[in-house]
Amino acid sequence: MSTGLPPPETQEACSVSLRQLMVNEGLIPSPEDDEKRRIIILILQRIVVRWVRIIAWKRRLPQHHIDATNATIIPYGSYGLGVHGSDSDIDALCIGPFFATISEDFFIDLRDLLKSRTEVSEVHCVKDAKVPLIRFKFDGILVDLPYAQLRLLSIPNVRFSTTLLSYIVQTLNGFLTASVFQNVDVLNPFFLRGIDETSWRSLSGVRANQCILQIVPSVELFQSLLRCVKLWAKRRGVYGNLNGFFGGVHMAILAAFVCGYNPNATLSSLVDSFFNTFAYWQWPTPVVLLRDAYAATGSPPGFMPIQLPCGGSQYCNSNVTRSTYCKIMSEFIRGHHLMKGYLKPSFNWKSLFEPYPYATTYAWFVKIHLSASNQEGFSDWVGWVKSRFRSLLIKIEEVFGLCDPNPKEYLEACEKQPNIVFYWGLHLRNINVSDIESVEKDFLKNVNRGSFQGAVGIIKLSVVQASHLPKNVECDRSNRSKKVTRTCWRIREDKQCNNTRGYSRHLPGYVVGCEKMNNREAGSTDVKC
């Protein structure tokens, strides 16, 4: 009797060709790259141990406490999940003892220690973010280093595991209970009692990773699925939290959700399930990995709420707006339609990952031109401006209707001064070009309102036709200034291009409010918004 399911060998063959595509696209980092990252973590581990011993000495702790004290580094983010690409940053949480404070010891002493290393460059303290961190480049790889302070004296090395084999909690100033534990998890709630709010938030990324890896039936399949859907999101222009799309953490939770419900699936059927699940998802019903945690939460925030699986009732920060909701949904539905034919011999995975055709989709674009007289501090300022993109997007929606904030950044190569240009697609065919003036005024007001303290550049908004789009959508290295910005997501399309990722210096704010959308017609690739 037929089960209605395709034979497993067909699924397998399909998965093999998808894996081949992943290799061809360079999604799997080379062993050299992996080794480099491993060594960076080990060196960081040594640096933070040295740092806390210096601090203990400065605080005049007894010698045996100085000898016993410790700090550790736990990788998280895409690197912690084992899904990083060669252009990914390293997200690494520094966990330190009770006497090493974030304001003074972490942001001053540890920063100076990092700065003194020859491998380290471009050190920035991001203090005003929800998860404050030190951001720097180590041997050319970007590192995000937040800090969590536990009420412990000694936090042994955990390297690539969050499970500790042993560690020591010692009595000090009557603050802690003397005991020796075996096989303890540093994320055990017992040890997290009494920690401050910032440390708790900083730990949430590590806890989320730990939870995801425990939930998924096969870590390998989860990793492959996540790599695939991240490539899809980047190619289709729906990756990047600052522009109102999904970030790595959102994609990881969606992928883990699909894996959890399909324990015996192959990679190709997981991709199919991914699109099938989210093309029909009744947002704003939240995506929740841990049911118990969901039961405890209030009404979920935003258009596409995704709960962080880290205990409590935290949601991922999201900048999704009405426009980006529509774009993401239409891409889910497109993916779902394409995947209907994935077992046919004519199916080619490349169609799923086809770059989004901005120039032929939209007649008009808002051009956002950012420039400064010199490179010094330019990337920081661009990061600041980008952290305000959500407000710009909402204003554009008000004035011009739906907008597609293409996360790609372009370069005006003929200009001498450092610059970055964005082209955001407008849905309207007939527009009043001069309406952009009120949008620009509003945006400038918003950007100037904040607490940015560095050198500011120039923002110019205009509306241009598709024919004005740069022919070569990616950066031309020969024309680029040497110091590239670290302020945005750069989507790799041109293999000739050096894959430099940029980031915002400031984490975006939460979505304010929640607007219910019309139910979409799943049979159509157009979303009615």
Binding residues (CB under 5 A) for Mg ion: these are 77-78, 89, 91, 144
Q: From the CB of 31, what's the least distance to ligand ATP, in Å?
A: 19
76: its two tokens: 């998280």
> Which entry of Mg ion, ligand ATP, none binds 247, CB below 5 to 8 A by partner kind?
ligand ATP
| Cα dist from 423 to 243, 323, 358, 420, 433, whole Å | 12, 15, 9, 10, 15
Instruction: State the distance between the two ends of the chain, measured CA to CA, in whole angstroms.
Output: 44
| For ligand ATP, the closer CB: 248 or 305 | 248
Q: Residue for token digits 């305000």?
A: 388
Q: From the CB of 76, what's the least distance to Mg ion, in Å?
A: 8
Number of residues interacting with ligand ATP: please give it, by CB under 6 A. Answer: 17
| For ligand ATP, the closer CB: 145 or 426 | 145
Angle at 492 between CA 357 and CA 416, to 5 degrees: 95
If one counts every other C-beta atom within 10 angstroms of the C-beta of residue 282, the result is 8
Q: From the CB of 413, what's the least distance to Mg ion, in Å?
A: 29
| For ligand ATP, the closer CB: 11 or 241 | 241
Q: From the CB of 299, what's the least distance to Mg ion, in Å?
A: 29
* Rounded Cα gap, residues 499 and 503, in angstroms: 13
Per the annotation, does 144 bind a ligand? yes
Q: From the CB of 205, what's the least distance to ligand ATP, in Å?
A: 3
Does residue 91 interact with ligand ATP by CB under 6 A?
yes
Burial class (CB in 10 A: 0-12, 13-18, 19+), 259: buried
315: its two tokens: 């949601």
| For ligand ATP, the closer CB: 205 or 502 | 205
HSE at residue 463, side-chain half, CA atoms within 13 A, is 22
Does residue 84 interact with ligand ATP by CB under 6 A?
yes
Q: From the CB of 208, what's the least distance to ligand ATP, in Å?
A: 5
Who's near 394: CB < 8 A, 6+ residues apart? 321
| For Mg ion, the closer CB: 89 or 404 | 89
Does residue 25 interact with ligand ATP by CB under 6 A?
no
Cβ–Cβ under 8 Å, residues 399 and 437: no
Who's near 516: CB < 8 A, 6+ residues apart? 284
Q: For the segment 247-266, give every residue that binds ligand ATP (CB under 6 A).
A: 247-249, 252
Who's near 357: CB < 8 A, 6+ residues apart? none
Site mask for ligand ATP (CB under 6 A), range 184-223, x = bound:
---------------------x--x---------------
> Which entry of ligand ATP, Mg ion, none binds 267, CB below 5 to 8 A by partner kind?
none
If one counts every other C-beta atom within 10 angstroms of the C-beta of residue 99, the result is 19
Q: At what angle do helices 197-215 and 219-235 cross, to 10 degrees?
A: 110
* Rounded Cα gap, residues 383 and 173, in angstroms: 43
Does residue 304 interact with ligand ATP by CB under 6 A?
no
280: its two tokens: 């029909």
Per the annotation, does 90 bind a ligand? yes
Per the annotation, does 109 bind a ligand? no
Binding region for ATP: 89-91, 144, 230, 239, 248-249
Q: Which residues bind ligand ATP (CB under 6 A)?
A: 76-78, 84, 88-89, 91, 205, 208, 241, 247-249, 252, 308, 316-317
Binding region: 89-91, 144, 230, 239, 248-249
Binding region for Mg(2+): 89, 91, 144
